[in-house]
Amino acid sequence: MVRILLLAVFAGAVAPAFAASRGGEAIAATRILDLHYGDVLFQYFIEEDFEALTRLEAYSHWNRMPNHAGEAELLAGGLYLQLGMHNEAGRRFEALTAAQLPASVRSRAWFYLGKVWYARGYYDRAVESLQRIEGALEPALDAEKRHLLANAFMHLSRYDEAIDLLRGWNTRSSWVMYARFNLGVALLRSDRLADGAPFLDSVGRSEARGEELLALKDKANLALGYAYLQGGQAAQAMPYLERVRLDGPQSSRALLGLGWAYAELGRFQDALTPWLALHDRNLLDAAVQEAYLAVPYAFARLGANGQAAEYYEQALSSFETETGRIDESIGRIREGSLLRDLVGADDAKSPQRGWFWQLQELPDAPESRYLYPVLAGNDFQEGLKNFRDLAFLGSTLARWDENMVVYSDMIDARERAYAARIPRVDSLLASNVAEQLDARRKSAEGRFNEVVNSADVAALGTPEQRAQWRRIEALEAAIAADPGNEELAAMRDKLRLVRGVLQWDLNQSFRDRLYQQRRELRALDRALNETADRWLRVQRAREVAPTTTGDFAMRIAALQERMTALRARLEGAADSQRGLLADIAVNELDAQKQRIEDYEVQARFALATIYDRAAEQSR
């Protein structure tokens, strides 16, 4: 007789421990005081986490974010956590919890440290960290904290503490639904059906909205139904199995369980209804495969041996076909087609990388139809994330390689420009231009002092006034040379009047012009000081430029050598990861193949039994 195959409804806790949303979870509202920190946040919010972390580390090294030191370190820990680097993230958060920082920063540091410990399986440390949070977190983080704490209690078998935490938690957050489901499943695993049933029942009766919570609701009803079925309480199991949606992902398991519940009660005619509905579904589903044996089993118990034999033969034919297809899929996976299809199909649609990346769509390949369970599993998802991250790092190194070529070209251009300009620079440095300019400045200052001391108002006149003054002096000299000439007497009086008027005008503007000349001298001093400073800088650049260019060239060469070594390591790690993922997928297909072979054995045995019984009756 076909035995009940209890499906893996308790295979693992539901819901990831961390949300994959992008809302700045590690960042509190703050005023940007350092431009470089704003640059990091820009990269973070456009989901360029690797670039944000690279710039964050560089800016921190050069102390470009002094006003955001604590927040920057917290963000760095969050980015390391986002990229799956738990050890480094834990180190950052531990350092923050011991630092003299605002309470809000320390609370978030304790939260993320607890998150790290939980992800690494140190549940006692996770509990300790989460319980050290002081004050209230943001509502979203507080809900996640309670979820993590409840799950950590469950992993430590501290169920009573988890029950107390969840019973006192009144919230509309979806985290409470996941926590109640996980607690209910954990209690069922510990043979505490009476304690776990209320939690699963509350999830199964909830008014869920959205596909994710509806699926969780179905899983809760399915888990509770199978728990009662396994406990020999088939009648109590039926209402929960009937709650599961017929168009949901758990419908096949629910139909199978409902059929076995009827069978346990001896109602084989009723059991055929869900089993026949299941029989028409995709044979890839393990529940459908069992239904291929359950249907003829029910017909045999009803005495319809002919129909039972027909369904057994149909099952054997279908199982044989599927076994051949699985063998073909295993061959394709060994050839490496799986990862090429998986990463290539999703790459253009999901630019996000790191720990929270999830495969969004399966490629259209023959093996995909067999790998839904393994692709949804944590081990394969984590391995696929690692493989994708390795590919991303490889493309990043390739881009940096191109940058190194550009930097080398820049250095070459700099050396050529230096070689072209050096003769002019040497000629300038060898000349006495600076000394000549300084001598001219001193001469101008001496002339100015003479004007001030002698009150030579004409010296600061306009060019026209100075020309008039010179003409007056020339005429006065000519008249003075002939003092006895009566005709020049009248001209002497007019010339004296003209001289007085001109001197009056020059005296009126003399002070203003002295002030303006002093300003011009000060401006000339500033220009000469700037000239001297640039002169020294040119001399220094002449001495250090070849050395600086050589240093840059050496650094670029060292970086290129380092990147070459990193590429080799990345390729080795990618090959290892590719082999690991292929092994996981092949092991899953081998398990499916073995399960089908077991079903074949049962079908052949049952079919032989029917034929033997028919042969005995014909004698």
DSSP tag of 161: H
User: 52-102, pLDDT tens digit by residue?
Assistant: 999 999 999 999 999 888 888 888 888 887 777 777 877 887 787 776 777
Would you state the structure tokens that stand for residue 499, as one six-digit string?
A: 């001289």
- Fold type of domain 29-137: 1.25.40
pLDDT value of position 335: 79
* Residue 45 pLDDT exceeds 70: yes
Would you state the structure tokens that stand for residue 450, as one six-digit string?
A: 């003479």
pLDDT value of position 143: 84
Q: Give the model's confidence band at 1: pLDDT under 50 very low, under 70 low, under 90 confident, else very high.
A: very low
Q: What is the b/e burial string over 264-301, where b = at least 16 CB atoms within 10 angstroms of the residue's CB?
A: beeebebbbebbbbbbeeebbbbbbbbbbbbbbbbbbe
Find the mean pLDDT for residues 491-507: 82
Q: What are phi and psi of 137, to 5 degrees?
A: -90, 175
**How far from chain centre, in Å, is Cα 172?**
28
| Residue position matching structure tokens 């006149």 | 461
pLDDT value of position 387: 82
* Residue 358 pLDDT exceeds 90: no
- List the chain domain ranges: 29-137, 399-574
| Residue position matching structure tokens 């007056």 | 472
Which range among 381-385, 392-396, 560-564 has the greatest average pLDDT? 560-564
Q: How many residues does the chain have?
A: 619
**Percent of the chain scoring above 70 in pLDDT:** 85
Q: How many helices (H) and strands (E) does the chain have?
A: 22, 0
Angle, alpha carbons 28-166-211 (nearest 5°): 75
pLDDT value of position 379: 72
* Residue 477 pLDDT exceeds 70: yes
pTM: 0.62
| Residue position matching structure tokens 């076995």 | 260
pLDDT value of position 389: 80
Mean pLDDT score across all residues of the chain: 80
Q: Give the model's confidence band at 169: pLDDT under 50 very low, under 70 low, under 90 confident, else very high.
A: confident
User: 107-134, pLDDT tens digit by residue?
Assistant: 888 888 888 888 778 899 889 889 888 8
Q: Give the model's confidence band at 244: pLDDT under 50 very low, under 70 low, under 90 confident, else very high.
A: very high
* Residue 467 pLDDT exceeds 70: yes
Q: Give the model's confidence band at 227: pLDDT under 50 very low, under 70 low, under 90 confident, else very high.
A: very high
User: 519-553, pLDDT tens digit by residue?
Assistant: 888 888 888 888 888 878 877 777 766 666 777 88
Rounded distance between C-alpha atoms, residue 590 and residue 371, angstroms: 11
* Residue 39 pLDDT exceeds 90: yes
* Residue 137 pLDDT exceeds 70: yes
How many alpha carbons lie under 13 Å from residue 263 in its C-beta half-sphere?
26
**Least reliable range by pLDDT among 227-241, 436-450, 566-580:** 436-450
pLDDT value of position 269: 92
pLDDT value of position 115: 85
Q: CA distances (Å), 330 to each of 319, 343, 378, 387, 436, in order? A: 16, 18, 21, 20, 88
